[in-house]
Amino acid sequence: MNVITNHMPTAELQALDAAHHMHPFSTQNDLAARGARVITQANGCFLRDSEGAEILDAMAGLWCVNIGYGREELAEAAARQMKELPYYNTFFMTTHIPAIALAAKLAELAPGDLNHVFYAGSGSEANDTNIRMVRTYWAEKGQPERNVLLARWNGYHGSSMGSGSLGGMVGIHSQGGLPIPDIHHIGQPNWWAEGGSMSEEEFGLMRARELEEKILEIGPERVGAFIAEPVQGAGGVIVAPDSYWPEIQRIVDKYGILLIADEVICGFGRTGNWFGSQTLGIRPHIMTIAKGLSSGYQPIGGSIVCDEVAGVLAACEFNHGYTYSGHPVACAVALENLRILEEEGIIDRVREETGPYLKEKFESLADHPMVGEVKIVGMMGSLALTPHKDSRATFASEAGTVGYMVRERCFANNLIMRHVGDRMIISPPLVISKEEIDLLIDRARLSLDEGMAAVKDAGLW
């Protein structure tokens, strides 16, 4: 076989890809028929494809490239660590400097008494850890029956057996025998889609109180934890009404259940603070981290755990861990990423300057005839597409048809903006400049115009 390089014609690369590469969350035959776009390079907020197009990546990869592409320092940190100690485990009474240094740094950055880190290779793995950790914690406290975890419909926590069960994605539950036992879901705080005639505040309270109802239905003595994303990401960047989180906090406090904040997207500056829990004013016992921890330059995730839970677990052997838990190269790269986020004041700039600028520009899209609700926190935002704003109507076509059409126009206009159903979402690198934000908004508006024309041509409106 020929050596495969980016000098090969795109069609050949696409044919090899279709023949041998099984893509996540894709219908392989449809993708093969179209040919996957081949991304060859990236710098800052821009990707380059095999045809030489420059694409503005308003999703930061998969919500992860917080410091932007092409930072030499991270490549150098990886190379240094690979030469010094490319791998060693932390299972059998050994440790190493990158794992120590990163854990200490995370304990410093995390709020409250979240002082202990259990490493994983991804967000899914970290949430699997959390399920076992919560159940082991309660068992060690003499309450093994407290093994139920509560989560939310349309939440996303990963796609492994455990994390996919915590998530409330029916598409995931419908394949492969999920959810695993003793995981239950409550409704999501998505007022636009599900709020009916209630005010946002009433609806937020109602949805939070579903947690209390579920606890009482199952029995408070059986419920170990509640997990949620501070802002739902993959579910469509759903920002809860202001009334929601204070009520959730009241309920978890009242019943003494553990609160797990899944910070895989919200962590490391995405919402304008180090963690989404700080932006939303919640006090988790465990935080799930991944993605922005290394800005996606290396696969790494983990759980940051409070003193109480870590203290109880410390007395037993926790029979859990991954070959790549605390991988030295991933830890070294993550540390360098955190240094850059901190020393360059990137999160402060999101909070004080570029975040408010993006908010103003993004909210200006609300005047578009097809845009209903616009939500944005820091550098994550969403637009609900609708044929009729006042009634918050949905399109008659199957959910996602119109979103997909707009996404296609974005793709053609060299803007990566995703759709979740008929919601368009963005999550750009945190280093995006004001000029790049203007470009993002111009391309988004053009794509909305073209998408609307296509929707009308197709008779969907």
Kindly list the residues in this chain that would bind ligand PMP in the complex (CB under 6 A): 62, 122-124, 127, 156-158, 229, 233-234, 262, 264-265, 290, 301
Least distance in angstroms from the C-beta of 429 to ligand PMP? 16
Tally Cβ neighbours within 10 Å of residue 64: 23
- The nearer residue to ligand PMP, 239 or 264, going by C-beta atoms, is 264
Least distance in angstroms from the C-beta of 53 to ligand PMP? 25
Least distance in angstroms from the C-beta of 395 to ligand PMP? 26
Residues near 336 by beta carbon (within 8 Å), at least 6 away in sequence: 73, 74, 77
The two tokens of residue 100 are: 């120590």
Least distance in angstroms from the C-beta of 348 to ligand PMP? 24
The pairing of beta strand 114-120 with beta strand 46-49: unpaired
Least distance in angstroms from the C-beta of 127 to ligand PMP? 6
Give the nearest residue (CB) to ligand PMP. 123
- The whole-angstrom separation of Cα 318 and Cα 170 is 31
- The nearer residue to ligand PMP, 122 or 303, going by C-beta atoms, is 122
- The nearer residue to ligand PMP, 123 or 241, going by C-beta atoms, is 123
DSSP-derived secondary structure letter, 193: H
Give the CA radius of gyration of the chain. 22
- The nearer residue to ligand PMP, 157 or 207, going by C-beta atoms, is 157
List the beta bridge partners of residue 418.
425
Q: Are 55 and 443 in contact (CB under 8 A)?
A: no
Does residue 429 have a cis bond before it (omega within 30 degrees)?
A: no
Hey, which bits of 290-339 come out as E strands? 301-306
In this structure, which amino acid lies at residue 368?
Answer: H
Residues near 250 by beta carbon (within 8 Å), at least 6 away in sequence: none
- The whole-angstrom separation of Cα 40 and Cα 6 is 7
Q: Are 154 and 423 in contact (CB under 8 A)?
A: no
User: DSSP for 25-63?
Assistant: TS-HHHHHHH----EEEEEBTEEEETT--EEEETTHHHH
- The nearer residue to ligand PMP, 180 or 216, going by C-beta atoms, is 180
- The nearer residue to ligand PMP, 295 or 386, going by C-beta atoms, is 295
Q: Could you give the 3-state DSSP secondary structure of residue 149? A: strand
Least distance in angstroms from the C-beta of 205 to ligand PMP? 24
Least distance in angstroms from the C-beta of 301 to ligand PMP? 6
Least distance in angstroms from the C-beta of 433 to ligand PMP? 25
- The nearer residue to ligand PMP, 46 or 156, going by C-beta atoms, is 156
- The nearer residue to ligand PMP, 229 or 436, going by C-beta atoms, is 229
Q: Are 346 and 66 in contact (CB under 8 A)?
A: yes
> Residue 120 — left, alpha, or beta (φ > 0 → left; ψ -120 to 50 → alpha)?
beta
- The nearer residue to ligand PMP, 122 or 188, going by C-beta atoms, is 122
The two tokens of residue 119 are: 């490493």
Least distance in angstroms from the C-beta of 158 to ligand PMP? 4
- The nearer residue to ligand PMP, 272 or 451, going by C-beta atoms, is 272
Least distance in angstroms from the C-beta of 182 to ligand PMP? 20
- The whole-angstrom separation of Cα 303 and Cα 322 is 13
- How many Cα neighbours within 13 Å face the side chain of 8? 17
DSSP-derived secondary structure letter, 240: P
